[in-house]
Structure 1
């Protein structure tokens, strides 16, 4: 995994490569940004570049150190993930224990914390020992969706590295070139922050089925409401796709945005582009305010489900609102 192999995040790559080239690598970095934007891949590429014995500011991918990092068995690189719901103080203490030994090969030790914002308070305070006593021989990378959730003392001792979602068109062109279904790509690039996340989404279990279910349920809601309620119960509330309700709502929101647009006579940039004809007809049969109200309701339902609202009742409510009941 070299920097050049990562698509996008050019500013981050330039900054990290320049720090290696000029021997000004910081002792701690916070890789913050949306999931799927390439933070984990960048941390791995950074580690490979730091340990590579061939290239001055990137990974050759062939030398022994590069291969060890790639296979996850480099003795001086430690990668921590939450143990259950959080990163616990015992994990940080074990890391401190490992760092008490001299580096075995390179003279440089490195650790990466995934979901760093999930550290317990005790773990975060323990981590400060590394950051308050920086060594030129230690590099830390903290990966998080929300860097602001980290302790201010950790933020102040680390270099902030923001990751941004890839440009949608760039992501779409890449995925289409790889041969993925255009109708699935249209949705994935709007729900994912980077190509790897979008690719995983498209190839994931049930993605195409959920899209088909959005089309089926919206059609049935507008024409055969009792059938729609039965379908929702069988396939989403209690069926095999029950754990994908959040994804269904994500796609429904995209569908409703299409309906708002079609209701005002605009057809450019429609996500459900293969369904435009029947959707346009239905969109114009009701005032735009109806679709805007449905969109607001879908977004509100998504929020309520995060706070453990009853999924079946929430689903039935939004289906009936689509009909205008």
Structure 2
């Protein structure tokens, strides 16, 4: 693994490689940006480059230290993930204990916190002291979806490294080249921030099935609403309803955006491009206000799901909204 093997994020690579070349590596970085933008891979590559015995500003991937980092057994690199829902103070204390021991031949110790915004207040305060008073040469990387959720005092002591989503066009080109179905690429690149995350969606459990279910339920809800309700119960089994319903609502929102475009007579850049003929006829059978209202309702119901609204009621309400009941 090397910086050159990472797709996109050229600005981030320039910043990190320049710090290696000029020997001006910061003692702490905040890798912030949406999931799927390659933050974890960048942290791993940066760690390899820091310990690499061959290259001054990249990872050769072949030397002993590079291989130890890649396989997760480098003695001076510590990776911390949430224990359950949060990173706890005990985890930070254990990290501090590990850092009280002498580093290896490089003289550098490094730690990476995944989901750093999930630290408890006590853990964050303990980490702050650690950032202020490192006992040796230390590099820290805090990975987070939302850097603004970190304590201001932590943010002020770390270099901010923003990760930006890859363009849909570039993601689609990469996934097309890999041979994934076009009908799955289009929704995936709109729901993911990078090709790795989009690929995971496409090959993941249920993505194609959920797309087909959106098509089936939207068709049925317009002509046979009771059948649509029954289909929803059968296909989205009650025990797994909440898990699959979030993805279903994401895909439904994309379908509704297509319906708005088709109502306007626009067939460019549709997500459900293979369904455009029957969707166009349906789109024109209602006025624009109906589709905009359905879209607003879907976004609102998606928010409610995050706050543990009843999944069955959410789904039934959405299907009735589509019909205009």
| TM-score, length basis structure 2 | 0.98
- C-alpha distance in structure 2 between counterparts of 1:102 and 1:133, whole Å: 16
Q: Is the 8 A contact 1:76 1:105 kept in 2?
A: no
Note the 1:1-325 alignment, pairs <5 A. Answer: 1-134=1-134, 137-236=137-236, 238=238, 243-325=243-325
Of 303-312 and 211-220, the range deviating more from structure 2: 303-312
Q: CA deviation at 1:264?
A: 0.7
Q: CA deviation at 1:224?
A: 1.2
2:236 alignment partner, SS class: helix
- C-alpha distance in structure 2 between counterparts of 1:220 and 1:115, whole Å: 41
- C-alpha distance in structure 1 between counterparts of 2:116 and 2:307, whole Å: 23
Unaligned 5+ residue runs, structure 1?
none
Q: CA deviation at 1:123?
A: 0.7
Q: CA deviation at 1:235?
A: 1.7
Q: Is the 8 A contact 1:298 1:318 kept in 2?
A: yes
- C-alpha distance in structure 1 between counterparts of 2:55 and 2:178, whole Å: 29
Q: CA deviation at 1:144?
A: 0.5
- C-alpha distance in structure 2 between counterparts of 1:194 and 1:134, whole Å: 34
1:318 alignment partner, SS class: helix
- C-alpha distance in structure 1 between counterparts of 2:174 and 2:131, whole Å: 39
Instruction: State the aligned residue count.
Output: 325
Q: CA deviation at 1:152?
A: 0.8
Runs of 4+ in 1 over 3 A off after TM superposition: 239-242
C-alpha distance after superposition, 1:83-109 (max 9, x if no partner): 111111111111101100110232111
- C-alpha distance in structure 1 between counterparts of 2:268 and 2:165, whole Å: 22
C-alpha distance after superposition, 1:243-287 (max 9, x if no partner): 210000000000000000000100000000010000001001111
C-alpha distance after superposition, 1:139-172 (max 9, x if no partner): 0000001111111110000000011111110111
Q: CA deviation at 1:129?
A: 2.0
Q: Is the 8 A contact 1:235 1:242 kept in 2?
A: no
Q: CA deviation at 1:241?
A: 5.6
Of 167-176 and 134-143, the range deviating more from structure 2: 134-143
Unaligned 5+ residue runs, structure 2?
none
1:198 alignment partner, SS class: helix
Root-mean-square deviation (CA), in Å?
1.2
Q: Is the 8 A contact 1:206 1:241 kept in 2?
A: no
